[in-house]
Each structure stands twice: as structure tokens, then as C-alpha cells.
Amino acid sequence: MAARVLIIGAGAVGAVTTHKCAEFPEIFSDICLASRTLSKCDAIAKQLKRPIKTAQVDADDAKAVVKLIKEFKATMVLNLALPYQDLSIMDACLEAGVDYVDTACYEPLDDNRYSYKWQWPYHDKYASKGIMALLGCGFDPGITNVFVAYAKKHFFTSIETLDILDCNGGDHGLPFATNFNPEINLRELDAKGKYFKDGKWIEIDAMSQKQTFIFPEVGQKDMYLIYHEELETITKHFPEIKQARFWMTFSENYLMHLKVLKNTGMTGIKPIKHQGQDIVPIQFLKSVLPDPATLGPRTKGKTNIGCIITGITPTGKRETRYIYQICDHQETFKEVGSQAVAYTAGVPPVIGAALMAQGVWKKPGVFNTEQMDPDPFMEIMAKFGLPWKVLEFYELPH
């Protein structure tokens, strides 16, 4: 059955999601793109080969979102807004009785700690309405979770260790810029690192653990251990895992800028007084940094995101698989006018929504992607622009 989809959020990732939904009219018969800034929606709509509706909405206002859902007669909402707005949009979908998809877990605006503990309790309420919420259906989280489920289903009877590797080998030529929403990116990196080991969470200083890794088609990069939200859900749904870590690559130049910004207080999330007005430093910083949506024409290179998974095979052997996906910045710009980081985040919710619309991934309640059958998702990733590879590999050092 074709879906009438309401997309909320017109940033770089929302633009990719809208482009990709528009490519599949047999799945998404009608599209409405909404944002706080209508002009952003209209600009994206003009780039498409088919007409869509646009609307202005404040995603913090659940009643306004409900009103828009009913006016458009949406059957599904794709939330590409800010993580702070997850709960208000979930509330709106619950009241309107429509399915919900997002790419990142809820994070309180005034506290730099993100967790699914605020969204999981919606399960019974969604189930009682007969609607579904698919949480964290981006790349990481999202496809990385699906990779783990796929490995468990096809290679292992149990998983022992997991390392998620996120590498952006692209170069935009600017002194400093983030590849997705600066506020969300910098909040994420300002937090302490954390990983799962032997049933416990171990916290470390931010950027204090580094490994060097040779990424296929990208090359050798330094990667740093940080905390990422899919570790929370994967260790919950695969309780046999003994160790789970998340690594992301950064250049020395990037880390130098990040250190200076942090030391000067520019990454702060609490309001301060400036000329008699309250301002949040990181929100001011976001306004002066390059908009990630403008980086597409100048970014060259590739991304490589994947999972190194070690487990016990059905024959009792201990083996390792590396499942990964590569995107080329210039190729994604040619296709949808965006760099590959936004592309890899914006395409997965379209795949998840397509499976829900077609009844393949459809059951009442609130779910993370690894709780669903991974095969249908993996089978159509290439069709939607994200081909993947799997290698027999070696385990990262402990």
C-alpha cells in the first residue's frame, strides 16, 4: 500500500530523505515536507522531478503537528528534525494515529545525555493504537544495528564483540566545518566516551582512546572511541555481547578546532548573558559555522561505515566479519545535491519507511531496527543507493 508521508525537517538530511522518497512514487504516493522555515522546504521542492506539498510547522508544538498530519491526511511521519523534538512528534503521531520513523534518539535540550529511556515507554501506547514507531533508522544508529542483526542471523549463534566504525574520508577544503547539524555534532563529541564490557559501562575522557585503521577505499585514518546511542539498544537486544565499542575518525585539524572551541566555552549548552540577552553558546556557534547543506559541491572523497563483529559460528568456531558500506561524496552530490554524510543518514529512514508502508516491517509498538528481520532491509539497500560488502576479517585489539 502506498503511503502519504509527512517529512519534518528541511536540513541537509531532510533534503536527502525528501529526494529519495520522491524517487519511489509507487511507495510514497504523496509527500509533504514541513519545517519551521517554509522557504527551506520550497527550495528543496523546486529540485524535485515530481510535485510535493510544503508546510510551515513548529515541531516542538505537538498540536500543530497533529493539525498538519490531519490536514495532509498523512499515514506516516518521518522525523528529520532535531533530537530534542522526538517526543513532541511522537506525541503527535500517537494522537493522530499514524506511524512514526526517526533517525536519532531523544536528547534533552538542556542536558548532554541521549538515551532511548524516554522513547521506549511509548511502546504500549503505540501498540494499543495499532501504530508503529521505528526508532533510530539512520545509518548509525540504524543500518549498523541491521548489520549486527544480519550477522547474528547468518553467521553466528552468538556475538562476542562488536566494533562500529564510522569514517568520513571526505575533504571540503574549509578550515573547520561539521558534516551534519553543528549543534548535534559538537554536543555528541563534547560528551565523555563510553563503551560496554562484561556487563558494565566504562566511561573514559572524551577522545582519550585512539586506534589507527586502514579503511577499504578510504585509507589509513585515526579513529577515536566515543559513545553512540546504538550501543544502548544493541547490547539490550543482544545480551550475549561481551564488548561493544563505537569509533569515529577525526583529523588532527578537526580535533584542534574542537579543543579550542571547548576551552573557550563555545560548545556550552547552558544559556549565558550577552548584552542583556540569554544566548546558548553552541547555538550561536552553529549560526556562524558553514551550513552542512552547502558542503556538497566542494566535498571530495568517500565515507566508510560498518561493523566488525566477532562471534561463535554454528560449527563452534570463533570468526569475525566486517560488514560495511561506502559512499562517494561527489556521486551523492550528483544524485541528490548533497554530500555523503547527509546521504548516508537520509536514505535509511526511506528504506525503513518503505518496508513499513509495504507491511514487511510492520507491527504495533515501538522498535529499534535490530529487532526487525534484517534480510528485507539488506536486500533493498543497493536499490536505494547504499550497496554493502561483507568480508571475513580480524578482530580489533581489545
Same domain membership, residue 309 and residue 352: no
User: Residue 284 maps to which CATH number?
Assistant: 3.30.360.10
Which residue(s) pair with 326 in the sheet?
304
Same-domain check for residues 8 and 112: yes
100/189 same-domain check:
no
176 in any annotated domain: yes
Which residues on adjacent β-strands are paired with residue 312?
158, 318
Q: What are phi and psi of 87, to 5 degrees?
A: -70, -40
Cell output for 317? 568456531
- List, in sequence order, the alpha helices (H) in 73-168: 86-96, 123-129, 143-154
User: What is the Cα–Cα distance from 349 to 370, expressed in whole angstroms?
Assistant: 14
- Specify the number of domains making up the chain: 2
How much is the pLDDT for 279?
84
If asked whether residues 147 and 68 sit together in one domain, one would say no
User: Cα–Cα distance between 146 and 372 in angstroms, integer?
Assistant: 8
* Domain interval for residue 95: 3-138+348-357
DSSP-derived letter for residue 118 is: G
Same domain? For 149 and 87 the reply is no
CA–CA separation, 24 and 374 (whole Å): 21
Do 26 and 169 belong to one domain?
Answer: no
- Domain contains 103: yes
Residues 82, 84, 88, 90: is their CA dihedral positive or negative?
A: positive
Does residue 228 sit in the same domain as residue 314? yes
> What is the spatial distance between Cα 377 and Cα 59, in angstroms, rounded to a whole number?
28
286 plus 249 within the same structural domain: yes
| pLDDT value of position 398 | 72
Q: Are residues 171 and 293 in the same domain?
A: yes
Residue 372 lies in a domain: no
The reply to whether 381 falls in a domain is no
CA distance linking residue 120 with residue 135, whole number of Å? 9
State whether residue 297 is helix, strand or coil: helix
Does any domain span residue 315? yes
Find where cell 545509518 sits. 139
Q: Same structural domain for residues 179 and 298?
A: yes
Alpha-carbon 15 to chain mean position: 14
Measured CA to CA, the distance from residue 265 to residue 337 in angstroms comes to: 34
CATH number at residue 80: 3.40.50.720
Q: How much is the pLDDT for 192?
A: 85
The conformation of residue 142, written as its DSSP 8-state character, comes to B
Instruction: Confirm if 224 and 210 have CB atoms less than 8 A apart.
Output: yes
Q: Where are the beta strands (DSSP E) in 129-257?
A: 132-135, 158-168, 193-197, 200-204, 210-215, 219-226, 243-249
**Inside any domain, residue 114:** yes
In a shared domain, residues 170 and 127: no
Question: Which pLDDT does position 114 carry in this prediction?
Answer: 82
Task: Specify the pLDDT at position 396.
Answer: 87
Are 106 and 184 part of one and the same domain?
Answer: no
Per-residue pLDDT of the chain (398 residues; tens, 9 = 90+): 799 999 999 999 999 999 999 999 999 999 999 999 999 999 999 999 999 999 999 999 999 999 999 999 999 999 999 999 999 999 999 999 999 999 999 988 776 578 999 999 999 999 999 999 999 999 999 999 999 999 999 999 999 999 999 999 988 777 777 766 666 666 666 678 999 999 999 999 988 999 999 999 999 999 999 999 999 999 999 999 999 999 999 877 777 777 787 788 877 878 888 888 888 877 887 788 887 778 778 789 999 999 999 999 999 999 999 999 999 999 999 999 999 999 999 999 999 999 999 999 999 999 999 999 999 999 999 999 999 999 998 888 87
In-domain check, residue 379: no
